[in-house]
A and B are shown apart, each in its own frame.
Chain A
Amino acid sequence: MRDYTLAAGEEFDLSMRRCGVAVPPDWSSGTWYVHDELHAMAKLLRQCRPAETEPAFLFDILRICSYHPGKE
């Protein structure tokens, strides 16, 4: 459920100002929605605490797959 309180709105505005992007006033609703959605997703990722200690970039991952032709 979206938090429509004034404090939540001020937090969103501050957050966008910090990243240097001015949100056109009548575009605020959808921007705020995606902002909250992305932060909820980031929270989910933090809760996952992936066991792997190294981040991996996709091409590196595929190269370690046993099916990669270069691996044979």
Chain B
Amino acid sequence: MNRPVHELSVREIGSALRDGRLRSTDLTRHMLGRIADLDGRLKAFILVTADRALEDARRADDELARGIDRGALHGVPYALKDIYDTAGIPTTCNSRLRWNFVPDMDSEAERRLRQAGGVLLGKLNTHEFAIGGPGFDLPVPPARNPWNTACFTGGSSSGSGAAVAADLVRIALGSDTGGSTRSPAALCGVVGLKPTYGLVSRRGMFPLSYSLDHAGLLGRSVDDVALTLNVVAGHDPEDPSSAQVTPVDYASGLGQGLQGLRVAYARDLFSGVRGLSPEVPDAIDAAARALVELGATVEEVQLPDFDLFKACGRIIMCVEAFAIHESDLRTRGEEFGRYTFQRIAPAGTLSGADLVQAFRLRRELTLAVDAVFASHDVILTACAIGPAASLEDFPLDWPPPSAAVAVQTVPFNVSGHPALALPACFFANGMPLGLQLVGRAFDEKTLLRVGAAFEAHARVGDRRPVFVSS
């Protein structure tokens, strides 16, 4: 192997494990060493589960030696945002309110990853309860962007984005309620998938907003994400939001090209946004031209006004979050992080009618997004509206400047359609610039196929961050 093992793809790791060039225990020790060397600066991990990782790795090696092969993730390291329950391992949500919580059961996603032979490296940093922001008053300080450690990672799956970008782990799970997987993917220059609502079980994932929460998958490449989706997708009868769909092989057909596919370009969704960097429309326009070169047809479409999606999503998210945290907000509000409190507590002043109105609008917005797919296969739009902001731009009290946190992601939490963030190019200041693709409900296969074709064309995912601190 000419490259360091932390740069190997999931398929390359699998191949090396199976032909004896690599053992999972050696790979795991290497990754644990890399985390020990680098994570003091990145703060991507809340907890490193070294003993558990080595135990998983030894089992994976032993099974392969005995001819037991659990599939693509067998012996492959992964990590989980610290809102996924892990039996016997603390699950803190980066909150003082949950700091000593040790679940006795695995989340369903963790159960599936373990069953598939994966190696758990640890629990990843998050904004408190997957909301809040990069608060310095939380138990673990904000994760830092590997492309510039003075900068924000995006969030709330902040550690997931940072860890994958820095090659501390190849694949990670996050969550996505308004963009919490796609934002760190875009700002850290990795691939982030929010699958269709209901495709991946959320059982054992600490909720932020029941009707907007999705699991999220982050990886170095579209293929890595597709192979991970193959493991975690599928019906869970114990999750009331789980869809009764038969998963397919999401990684097959990624190299098929785009001939005959129809792309809807939702340029209006981001082109008028306040704080938009002029580099973003230039980059997404270039991506649209690239998709045409790859054989697709691209046509501009109009979606409903972004402010409607934003208002609808925010009202639902904040009211549902208030319902979850109501008792703690009333009795020990000062134990929350400042941002978390400020973002959730005011939702208690909204009325039941406000929530019903949001759900009424949600039907219209969802049907409007869905109507696009009557004549198109995917939607192309922007993800973040500018490069990662400096952590110093975040004031003591909410809000930060809108350009620091604005992402065009919430429409597809409101509508539930699958959405993929992937690197498009780089801003002039060297920070990653991501685009967003959206697919039909439960058609992740086509979505990932388009993502893989663009990825192979753009080849920006091959570039690695050099840790700098400006």
Contact = CB atoms under 8 A, between A and B. Distances in A.
A61 B367 contact: yes
Nearest to B244: A70
B346 A50 contact: no
Q: Which 3 A-B pairs have the closest CB atoms?
A: A19-B348, A55-B359, A30-B397
Contact of B342 (A22, A30, A44, A61): A30
A23 interface: yes
Interface stretch (B114-122, B159-167, B328-336): B328-336
A44 B314 CA distance: 12
B373 interface: yes
Given A19-B348, A34-B343, A38-B318, A27 B354 contact: no
Interface in B337-386: 338-339, 341-343, 345-351, 354, 356-364, 366-367, 370, 373
B262 to A, nearest CB: 15
Given A24-B333, A44-B308, A56-B366, A31 B346 contact: yes
B341 A61 contact: no
B443 A67 contact: yes
Contacts of B212: 58
Contacts, number: 154
A33 B345 CA distance: 11
Contacts of B398: 30, 33-34
B397 A45 contact: no
A50 B414 CA distance: 15
A18 B197 CA distance: 34
Interface in A17-52: 18-24, 27, 29-35, 37-39, 41-42, 44-46, 48, 50-52
A4 interface: no
Q: How large is the interface on A (under 10, 10 to 19, 20 to 34, 35 or more residues)?
A: 35 or more
Contacts of A23: 333, 341, 345
B315 A41 contact: yes
Most B CB contacts (10 A, CB to CB) among A16, A35, A46, A61 go to: A61
Interface residues of B, number: 57
B196 interface: yes
B311 A44 contact: yes
A61 B346 contact: no
Given A27-B397, A35-B349, A55-B356, 10 more contacts: A24-B333, A34-B343, A38-B347, A41-B315, A55-B362, A59-B416, A61-B367, A61-B416, A65-B370, A65-B441
B363 A67 contact: no
Interface of A: 15-16, 18-24, 27, 29-35, 37-39, 41-42, 44-46, 48, 50-59, 61-62, 65, 67-70
B237 interface: no
5 contacts: A21-B348, A34-B346, A52-B364, A55-B359, A59-B197
Contacts of B354: 42, 45-46
Contacts of A65: 370, 441
A59 B243 contact: yes
A16 B416 CA distance: 32
Contacts of B339: 30
A4 B351 CA distance: 23
Nearest to B363: A56
B441 to A, nearest CB: 5
Nearest to B362: A56
Contact of A34 (B243, B246, B342): B342
Contacts of A48: 308, 357, 361
B211 interface: yes
Contact of A62 (B329, B346, B441): B441
